[in-house]
Amino acid sequence: MVGTKNKTLKVTLNYIFTIVFLLIMIFPFIYLVLNSFASWDQVDKHLIPTSYSLRSWQWLFSNSVTVAPAPWVQAFLHTFIVSTITVFLMMLFAVMVAYALAKIEFRGKKLVDNFILFQMFFPGIILLIPQFLLITKVGWIDTFQGMILPTAVSLWAIFMYTNFFKAIPDTLIESAKLDGATDMQILFKIVVPMSKSITTVIFLFLYTERWTTLLWDMIVSKSDSTVTLNVLISQMFGPYGTYPGPMYAASVLLTLPLILLFLLFSKNFQEGMQYTLK
Amino acid sequence: MKRRNNKLGWLFTSPYLIFTTIFFLLPLFWSFWLALTNWNLISPEIKFVGLENFIVSFKNAKIHQAFFVTYKFLIVFVPLALILSMLVAVLVNRLPKFKGVFLVAFFLPYLSSGVVTSLIVKGILSYNGPISTWLRNSFGWDVDWLGSPTAALIVVSVMIAWKMSGYYGLILVSGLNSINTEIYEAAALDGVNGWQRFWKITVPMLYPSLYTVLILAIGVSFGIFTEVYQLTGGGPNGATNTWQMEIYNQAFVNLKSGYASAIALIAAVVTFLSIGVLRNLIEKWGKHYGWN
Amino acid sequence: MKFKRLALLAAVCATTLFGLAACGSKSSEQSGDKTTITFWAAPNPPQVKYWKKMATEFEKKNPKITVKVSQMKESPTSEATIQSAIASGTAPTMSENITRSFAAQLAKSKAIVPLNNDESTKNLMNDVVSGRNMTKTIKSWKFSDGNQFVVPLYSNPMLVGWRLDTLKKIGIDSVPKTYSDVQKVADALKAKDPSKVVYANPTVVDPTAYQRWFDFFPFYDAASNGASFINGTKFVGDKDAGVTVFKFMQDLYQDKELITKKTTDPFESGLSVMNIIGPWTFPNWAEKYPNLKFDDTYTITSVPVPDEMADADNVKTYADAKGVVLYAKATNAQKKAAMKFLKFVMSDVNNDVSLLKLTSLLPARDDASTNSAFKNYFESNPEMKVYAANVPNAIPAMDNADYNTLQEKLGNDGWIPAVTGKKTPEKAWADMVKAIKGAL
């Protein structure tokens, strides 16, 4: 009897420890949200503000007496457009290339396979300046293509999908072939639907990565007509430095969609993660 | 039997091939060429200067600094990330129920943007912000978080370790899960204590996951940019000036694209070699445990 | 079915992608007889507000010209943003926020338009200068090649603010004038309110070149009675004044009365009692700190001077003077439209009244302190009167195209190590002179 009691106590303590540690780990998010709703004389004054108002949020979107609003909503839309299209292309290209690498024999396949591995370990920093010059030369500076296309292939996604597709039995594909299906049909009707959980994982990682990209977007975007929210917040660091409340509100705007998206897919994510980590 | 079909294979890999030609191979050769010129992005004249950019950068104290700063980040950030993620993994792994829910919650920091984290850290650590005021009033501690070279380096490392902890924790949990509990039971019978158990059983059995985490973390510490750009600007006095920061500043602030390309090439070689050496070391460590 | 849907989605994505791009490129060119010009306003929110207002009013009267105003980005400084925009061919038609030094640098690389010389701007430039009454002001903006690249917009003397409420509490009744007076404040704070400090400014240890305009030069100009620092391509800095300023700051720092850690609004929140203040701060105060009242909680006065200058009148300071430039890649039609816009804004004195009201920046015109149009404004804003009165005491930035490098050396070799006590004031000055001379 003493043993079970001890055990329950131990389990309870474990939960308490974990919850306390979790609260510490996600405190920055709590701090962010609370401060975006804090009255202005409370921002950055206490760990938990003591009085609240909507002023920061109103200020962010309204044409205040002293300040013209920055294009927060537009920037949010740009972030959405750029991230969605880029990640869509990344996934589309990744399944195609991975299907070829996993299920089709062709001359040069080994070379492509090895080159992808080489690129994955290649320090991409070398490419930054010439890629910028390339974009400048073709007139894609300050355009969405300039932000999207140079980031539209993810080697990591190809790598992950290739490993996953290899585990799909060839007989499945052969029998579909006998039924007269083309490879495109097999890929999108059979193979892709089978990879739901890993697709969720890849999608979430890619989307997070793209949504919070700073360096490349900062280099390509030069005006309000293309600026993304992450870049805008970064560039308003100085000018809006004396308005931390609204800056926190804008940051909530940037962070919240990712959290919601993640929680929405969290079940698939867990399944997928278990698979990818095996 | 896989089917042989050259045309189909090339067709399906064509997005990758086109992309790699345009956005990888072309820029790669371009950057070799750029590194040999003195082009400043604006001027119409491009002068070929041979190896001058490399000679100048080898002599430049700022480049030496960037070289060492990267390793300092490696030394501070990798252990920090490992400790935090280990803590996440061990805590979650001991729970009988709701493991998944907790893992998802611990993963949330990974979704933060470095820009936003910098904003929070700047506010929370400012001299008259909550933490500094509290430390000053309760203990008389007056820390110059972003103004002292050591503190600034640690602050940035903690920020990134915080972001990565849940992700790495997830990898470690799956490693812990795969350890057979019978081994622990057998060890308990032999009278092995907790600390020994951790070093003699858990760590060796966890090696594959630890390997993944270490490689990922090492990669991260060679590519630090956003937090440094946003929060310290590479300061104080260059104490957080990473390769990426120096390259960005030379290329896009001082507009010295030739010189910046030379630095980028040096940085790439250093990064490539360092990661290679570190990987070898970690793999040796694994062999010691009987992993290949 | 699924594949079809997917293909459809891809097609939609592709069309939106290129559709958006097409929209983007179309709007920046001229279509038909309509001209679009882009204007980058300073990275200061009230200035963006002012220029947006001007653009709307101008467009009403000139339906054939569209003026697109947006805020200049800081990545990481506005100068860097402009240069990289020029490099990538995405510079705007025109922008404000240009100092004499930066204009010299841009002119050297032929990135801006010589307004008095260019066929499409020549005549309109004359109209702007005479229309705004700037014939005298513009002389100091003439470059050594005789050209005029900048239309001066405003000029602000940098002055010092003191928290009267805190001073009173610690028993100091007169506003400090000399270094000894400041020392007295430091001693009184230590004795009566040790949680507060004399001066808190994190940018003091920021090596970014332009910061020296706002932390070093006001004190240097005051201590040297306006001696030049660099004349053309020669270093002529006043050593005695420079070393005295270094020593003054070092003493404050070592006394823990100068804080260089990151702080949030130290003067406004009452943490520090002194600060260097530019008038653009006031709109922000009106919104965020309505409790700050001139002559009650704070006052504005000239920069503190060494003790032997205690009786000096007309203490000198740094002038934050900025203007508007046109970028060289603009088409002739755009140049003309841009000058028309400037003429519209500058020839009506009421627009300068708006400038004062919205941004608290002092219009760069010959009659700034005498024009009756401003009378009402200065009467209801007495703090701004102090700034207006100090315009003649303000010294503009150096006219060297390499100012960035030079001021970086000033910061890294002299100012920062001196303030933080890493070098003696004398050694810091000597090292700095050596570094600057090496770069000239």
Q: Does A24 contact B at CB distance below 8 Å?
A: no
Query: Any idea what the CATH number is for the domain that residue C145 is in?
Result: 3.40.190.10
Given a contact as 3+ CB pairs under 8 Å, which chains touch B?
A, C
Average pLDDT, chain C: 86
Residues C216, C94, single domain; the answer is no
Read off the pLDDT of each residue in C55-66 and give the average, rounded to a whole number. 92
Residues C135, C172, single domain; the answer is no
Residues C415, C270, single domain; the answer is yes
Q: Do C21 and A226 touch (CB under 8 A)?
A: no
Neighbouring-strand partners of residue C197 = C272
- C269 vs B contacts (CB less than 8 Å): 128
Contacts of residue C234, Cβ cutoff 8 Å, sequence gap at least 6: C440
* Shortest CA distance from B257: residue in chain A: A129
Q: How many domains does chain C have?
A: 2
Phi and psi at C319, nearest 5°, equal -100, 120
Q: State how far the Cα of A252 lies from the Cα of A234, in Å rounded to an integer.
A: 14
Residues C258, C407, single domain; the answer is yes
Asked if the structure places residue C11 within a domain, the reply is: no
Lowest mean pLDDT among A13-17, A156-160, B280-284, C230-234: C230-234
From the number of C-beta atoms within 10 Å of its C-beta (0-12, 13-18, 19+), residue C380 rates as exposed
Question: What is the domain range of residue C76?
Answer: 34-156+320-395
Phi and psi at A253, nearest 5°, equal -55, -35
Residues C163, C38, single domain; the answer is no
Residues C67, C44, single domain; the answer is yes
Contacts of residue B198, Cβ cutoff 8 Å, sequence gap at least 6: none
Asked if the structure places residue C20 within a domain, the reply is: no
Q: What is the DSSP string of A131-153?
A: HHHHHHHTT-TTSHHHHHGGG--
Read off the pLDDT of each residue in C235-241 and give the average, rounded to a whole number. 91
Lowest mean pLDDT among B178-182, B275-279, C53-57, C248-252: B178-182
At C160 the three-state DSSP class reads: strand
CATH architecture classification, B60-288: Orthogonal Bundle (1.10)
| Of residues C42, C98, C103, C111, the one with CA closest to residue C70 | C42
From the number of C-beta atoms within 10 Å of its C-beta (0-12, 13-18, 19+), residue B191 rates as exposed
What is residue A184's predicted lDDT score, i.e. its pLDDT?
87
Read off the pLDDT of each residue in C191-201 and give the average, rounded to a whole number. 91
Q: Do C17 and A136 touch (CB under 8 A)?
A: no
Residues C192, C296, single domain; the answer is yes
Q: Is the pLDDT of residue C18 over 50?
A: no
Count interface pairs A-B at CB distance under 8 A: 252
Q: Is the pLDDT of residue C5 over 80?
A: no
Which of C200, C202, C264 minimises the CB distance to B129? C264
Domain ranges of chain B: 60-288
Phi and psi at C41, nearest 5°, equal -90, 160
Lowest mean pLDDT among B136-140, C12-16, C81-85: C12-16
Residue B59 to residues B54, B63, B178, B252, B263, Cα–Cα distance (Å):
9, 8, 51, 22, 12
Residues C84, C141, single domain; the answer is yes
Asked if the structure places residue C23 within a domain, the reply is: no
How close C404 gets to chain B, by Cα (Å)?
10
Q: State how far the Cα of A70 lies from the Cα of A237, in Å rounded to an integer.
A: 12
Count interface pairs A-C at CB distance under 8 A: 102
State percent of chain C over pLDDT 70. Answer: 93
Which of A136, A141, A239 minimises the CB distance to C74? A239
Q: State how far the Cα of C34 lies from the Cα of C13, in Å rounded to an integer.
A: 31
Q: Is the pLDDT of residue C163 over 70?
A: yes
| Of residues C439, C435, A132, A231, the one with CA closest to residue B250 | A132
Residues C79, C172, single domain; the answer is no
pLDDT tens digits, C66-109: 999 988 888 778 888 898 888 888 889 999 999 988 998 898 88
| Of residues C414, C217, C199, C417, the one with CA closest to residue B236 | C417
Lowest mean pLDDT among A83-87, A188-192, B188-192: B188-192
Q: State how far the Cα of B160 lies from the Cα of B154, in Å rounded to an integer.
A: 10
pLDDT band at C7 (very low <50, low <70, confident <90, very high): very low
pLDDT tens digits, B78-134: 999 999 999 999 999 888 888 888 988 999 999 999 999 999 999 999 888 898 888
Q: Does B277 contact A at CB distance below 8 Å?
A: no
A 220-249 near B (Cβ less than 8 A): 230, 233-234, 237, 244, 247-248
Residues C188, C109, single domain; the answer is no
pLDDT band at C10 (very low <50, low <70, confident <90, very high): very low
State percent of chain C over pLDDT 90. Answer: 49
| Of residues A28, A74, A84, A27, the one with CA closest to residue A261 | A84
Q: State how far the Cα of C267 lies from the Cα of C285, in Å rounded to an integer.
A: 11
How close C79 gets to chain B, by Cα (Å)?
8
Q: Do B13 and A101 touch (CB under 8 A)?
A: yes
Q: State how far the Cα of C66 lies from the Cα of A250, in Å rounded to an integer.
A: 29
Phi and psi at A241, nearest 5°, equal -55, -30
How close C18 gets to chain B, by Cα (Å)?
18
Residues C165, C251, single domain; the answer is yes
Asked if the structure places residue C24 within a domain, the reply is: no
Q: State how far the Cα of A157 lies from the Cα of A178, in Å rounded to an integer.
A: 30
Check the CA dihedral A130-A136-A139-A144 and report its sign.
Answer: positive
Asked if the structure places residue C227 within a domain, the reply is: yes
Q: Which residue segments constitute the domains of chain A, with CATH numbers given?
A: 2-53 (no CATH), 72-276 (1.10.3720.10)
Q: Does B61 contact C at CB distance below 8 Å?
A: no
Residues C116, C38, single domain; the answer is yes
Residue A273 to residues A203, A278, B134, B173, C133, Cα–Cα distance (Å):
12, 9, 41, 11, 71
C 53-82 near B (Cβ less than 8 A): 75-77, 80
Q: State how far the Cα of C293 lies from the Cα of C312, in Å rounded to an integer.
A: 28
Q: What is the pTM of this model?
A: 0.87
Q: State how far the Cα of B76 lies from the Cα of C209, in Å rounded to an integer.
A: 31
Q: Do A239 and C71 touch (CB under 8 A)?
A: yes
Q: State how far the Cα of C407 lies from the Cα of C413, in Å rounded to an integer.
A: 10
Q: Does A129 contact C at CB distance below 8 Å?
A: no
C64, C35 contact by CB (below 8 A): yes
Q: What is the ipTM of this complex?
A: 0.89
User: Angle B36-B38-B39 (CA atoms, 0-180°, nearest 5)?
Assistant: 110
Q: Do A239 and C20 touch (CB under 8 A)?
A: no
From the number of C-beta atoms within 10 Å of its C-beta (0-12, 13-18, 19+), residue A258 rates as buried
| Of residues C346, C197, C363, the one with CA closest to residue C274 | C197
